[in-house]
Structure 1
Amino acid sequence: MTASINTQSHFNNAAAHAKPVTIETPRLILRETQHTDIDSFRDITTRPDFYYYCFDGSENKLREFMDVSVRTQTPDPSTGLREKFMLAVTLKDSGKVIGHASLMRIEEYTLPMADVDYEAAYFIDSHHNGHGYGQEALLNTMHYGFSELGLPGLGSVQELDNAKAIAIASKVLGFKKVGECVGQTVKGPKQHQVCIVVPDDFYPLRANDKQVYIAPDALLRANRLAATALDSKPSAP
Structure 2
Amino acid sequence: MIETPRLLLRPYSLGDYDAYVALTTDPAVVPLFGNQPMSREDAWNRLLRYAGHWALFGYGLFAVFERESGRHVGETGLADFHRGLGPSFDPDPEAAWVFAGAHHGQGYAGEAAAVAHRWFAETHGAARTVCIIRPDNASSLRVAEKLGYRRFGSTIYRDVPFEMMERAKDS
TM-score range, shorter chain: 0.7 to 0.9
Partner-residue secondary structure (3-state), 2:157 = strand
The letter of the residue matching 2:150 is K
Partner Cα separation in structure 2 for residue 103 and residue 159 of structure 1: 18
Following TM superposition, where does structure 1 have runs of at least 4 consecutive aligned residues deviating by more than 6 angstroms? none
Structure 2 partner of 1:195: 165
Offset of 1:37 from its aligned partner? 0.6
- Give the TM-score, by structure 2 length: 0.84
1:145-160 correspondence to structure 2 within 5 Å: 145-160=120-135
Equivalent AA in structure 1 for residue 46 of structure 2: F
CA distance in 2, matches of 1:166, 1:183: 17
Q: Can you give the 5+ residue segments of structure 1 that lack an aligned partner in the other structure?
A: 1-21, 76-80, 203-237
2:8 touches 2:66 (CA, 8 Å); kept in 1?
yes
- Larger Rg computed on CA atoms: 1
Q: Which residue of 2 aligns with 1:37?
A: 16
The alignment partner of 1:131 has SS state of coil
Residue 53 of structure 1 corresponds to 33
In the alignment, does 2:41 pair up with 1:71? no
**Which residue of 1 is the match for residue 119 of structure 2?**
144
**Does 1:91 find its partner at 2:66?**
yes
**Deviation digits for residues 42-83 of structure 1 (CA, Å, limit 9, x no counterpart):** 2222223323236733111111112112233212xxxxx34x
Aligned match of 2:82 in 101, 104, 107?
107
| CA–CA distance in structure 1, aligned partners of residues 154 and 75 of structure 2 | 25
How many correspondences in the alignment? 168
**1:162–1:97 CA distance, 2 compared to 1 (3 A):** closer
Which digits, 9 at most, give the CA deviation of each residue in 1:98-151, with x for residues without a partner?
Answer: 1111211152224549x9620110111212222211111111111112222113
TM-score (norm 1): 0.63
Q: How does 1:145-224 map to 2 (within 5 A)?
A: 145-170=120-145, 172-184=146-158, 189-200=159-170, 202=171
Q: What is the RMSD computed on CA atoms of the aligned residues?
A: 2.4
Report if aligned partners of 1:28, 1:89 keep a CA contact under 8 Å in 2. yes
Amino acid in structure 2 at the alignment position of 1:194 = M
Look up the match of 1:119. Answer: 94
Structure 2 residue runs of 5 or longer lacking an equivalent are: none
Residues 168 and 98 of structure 1: CA distance in aligned 2, closer, same or farther (over 3 Å): closer
Return the letter of the residue paired with 1:105.
Answer: D
Local SS of the residue matching 1:95: coil
Distance 1:46 1:193 in 2: 24
Measure how far apart 1:166 and its partner are: 3.0
| 1:93 match: secondary structure | coil
- Take 2:43 and 2:121, find their aligned partners in 1: how far apart are those partners? 29
